[in-house]
Structure 1
């Protein structure tokens, strides 16, 4: 199955001449943008395909973490060759030693038009990540799940868990059993409400026996936070299942005992996936990177019965593509605040 990405559209609709005024798009500005799940999937897929074609740049992210591990910071620079946009993304999370409610998280994306040389926007990156990541998981499921997959289990009910099932149904509409494991009642209800909003009439089956649910799932998507008690073991999984790691919720055995390992980026997996290392601190080799799988240059799966492990780490080129798409929609609606930063 192949989808086409929306056309890049006008570059800077309201920027006359050599206007260097920066448009700032806040969380609330972006929350009001209406974008379909199919539009998001197509935008993310096109970013991967452009990268696989060698037309985009996605250098390894820079990471800063203090010795006690209470915070982590990332900086990512990239260029989307299809949209001809350069961007810098920054991410800072504080309070990793605390529960989710006690943490602080800030992420921003600054876009520059590489044709005109003018700034496009500086924007909160929260909604971009909340959309981009489950869209990437859904694409991984489309390409790497066994033929005829009918059941899916989502572990976790946070930001990434809430849209995991709607995106999975967007790329795998034949799924007829949707399972959900979560430990927070309010999070469980938020996931179920989000599913009903996008797919009226569809319900998520809340499970308490994680082992039984994992054994019944063709696709397992682990989106939980670092304090989750969930840890799906490889021995629980059915033959031919696909395990997708976004956050936490899978035991390291699901990676080390997999028949095939796919990653959005092997380099990034080795930076951010160290919690999946074995007792000697090692991670197995990646058999295929996902951009190459989408482009038909590598196989996501070789047989119906092999267990595939997929590591979904965000690539900045997908942030750039989706951020640019949202910025286009926001600018067309006149949203944001224009700041003469460079005057």
Structure 2
């Protein structure tokens, strides 16, 4: 697999589209063929957050719509990555939420424009971008809030479950023990295979007792789907643990009873974290947001024995940063199809 590198000193590479009316379309197949490495993704995502914290980038609150039956959910997001001078629009639509992952219909797109030239960059399938930037963000949170962790537990074996450990080990190579908890053997095997792809020689244990595994873990990653039966509660966590929620698999009481709370964005949490609200429909205040932590404005924890809860919600600025890297790589290789849209 080809590997791309990211020039950390580059501002943005100009897009070479011949006409403003033409748009390069990158399908899922094309994006899958580009190749990537976890260190490159971590770098792109971290710089996106630093740009946001410095004021160079912008990430307005996402919009959500859902019917009363809750059989579907849709999101719309807009952002600007100041470092790469790229504006992006992302849409996400998921249907049949009450059924298993295989039966659901899920579509996500990312449309980008170069804010230096005014030219369209690309419209692309956003699934791989989301699948990569989310575990990268979790890894950045873990590196800040649990730098000396030795044991990590992943709850869930879907796309995020499979990618969680490779990124975590890239950010925290000192983590020695890796545990996964899931119901599906195929998913567990996928977690093993993905780990070996990026970190050959590393092994993952399979948990049969979630509470016990959580009590032994310094980092607990809740990345399961909505249909998960088990969830780690606050009482299951050891002192000093980091409970990091991406999807499901960590109970709401871990948020409400935590000693310290982190979010990628408190505003986004108010939109996508409503299932964690208490009986009054309220969420507790957040102590620190990730951009401020990365810039050193806020600590990732106040004491080693604190139980820290972190909420990782998607932010369009990270999709734009990583999407621009992938789109530029596709353009350099002549991949994708140009259409005359306007």
Q: Normalized against structure 2, the TM-score is what?
A: 0.96
Aligned residue pairs: how many? 337
Deviation at 1:8, TM superposition (A): 4.5
- Residues 133 and 6 (structure 1), Cα distance of their counterparts in 2 relative to 1, 3 Å cut: farther
Distance 1:85 1:314 in 2: 18
Q: Is this contact kept in 1: 2:80–2:320, CA < 8 A?
A: yes
Q: Is this contact kept in 2: 1:155–1:182, CA < 8 A?
A: yes
Distance 1:100 1:86 in 2: 31
Deviations 1:289-326 (A, max 9, x none): 11110011111111110011000001100000000011
Match of 2:115 in 1: 114
Distance 1:331 1:207 in 2: 44
**SS of residue paired to 1:32:** helix
Q: Is this contact kept in 2: 1:6–1:39, CA < 8 A?
A: no
Q: Which runs of 4+ in 1 moved over 3 A?
A: 3-6
Deviation at 1:281, TM superposition (A): 1.4
Q: How does 1:1-343 map to 2 (within 5 A)?
A: 5=8, 7-13=10-16, 15-16=17-18, 18-145=19-146, 147-342=147-342
Distance 2:281 2:20 in 1: 51
Deviation at 1:5, TM superposition (A): 3.6
Q: Is this contact kept in 1: 2:12–2:85, CA < 8 A?
A: no
Deviation at 1:35, TM superposition (A): 1.3
**SS of residue paired to 1:303:** coil
Comparing 114-123 with 96-105, which one deviates more in the overlay?
A: 96-105
Q: Is this contact kept in 2: 1:260–1:307, CA < 8 A?
A: yes
**SS of residue paired to 2:90:** strand
Q: Is this contact kept in 2: 1:224–1:247, CA < 8 A?
A: yes
Q: Is this contact kept in 2: 1:155–1:221, CA < 8 A?
A: yes
Distance 2:96 2:129 in 1: 22
**SS of residue paired to 1:304:** coil
- Residues 6 and 34 (structure 1), Cα distance of their counterparts in 2 relative to 1, 3 Å cut: farther
Deviation at 1:221, TM superposition (A): 0.5
Q: Is this contact kept in 2: 1:233–1:251, CA < 8 A?
A: yes
Gaps of 5+ in 2: 1-5
- Residues 4 and 278 (structure 1), Cα distance of their counterparts in 2 relative to 1, 3 Å cut: farther
Distance 2:190 2:331 in 1: 30
**SS of residue paired to 1:141:** helix
Deviation at 1:99, TM superposition (A): 1.5
Deviations 1:124-159 (A, max 9, x none): 0000000000000000000011x5210100000001
**SS of residue paired to 2:178:** strand
Match of 2:3 in 1: none
**SS of residue paired to 1:299:** coil
Q: Is this contact kept in 1: 2:192–2:204, CA < 8 A?
A: yes
**SS of residue paired to 1:63:** strand
Deviations 1:32-55 (A, max 9, x none): 012110000000000000000011
Gaps of 5+ in 1: none
Deviation at 1:11, TM superposition (A): 1.6
Q: Is this contact kept in 2: 1:5–1:45, CA < 8 A?
A: no
Q: Give me the CA root mean square deviation.
A: 1.2
Q: Is this contact kept in 1: 2:22–2:341, CA < 8 A?
A: yes
Distance 1:8 1:70 in 2: 42
Deviation at 1:20, TM superposition (A): 2.8
Deviation at 1:10, TM superposition (A): 2.3
Deviation at 1:19, TM superposition (A): 3.9
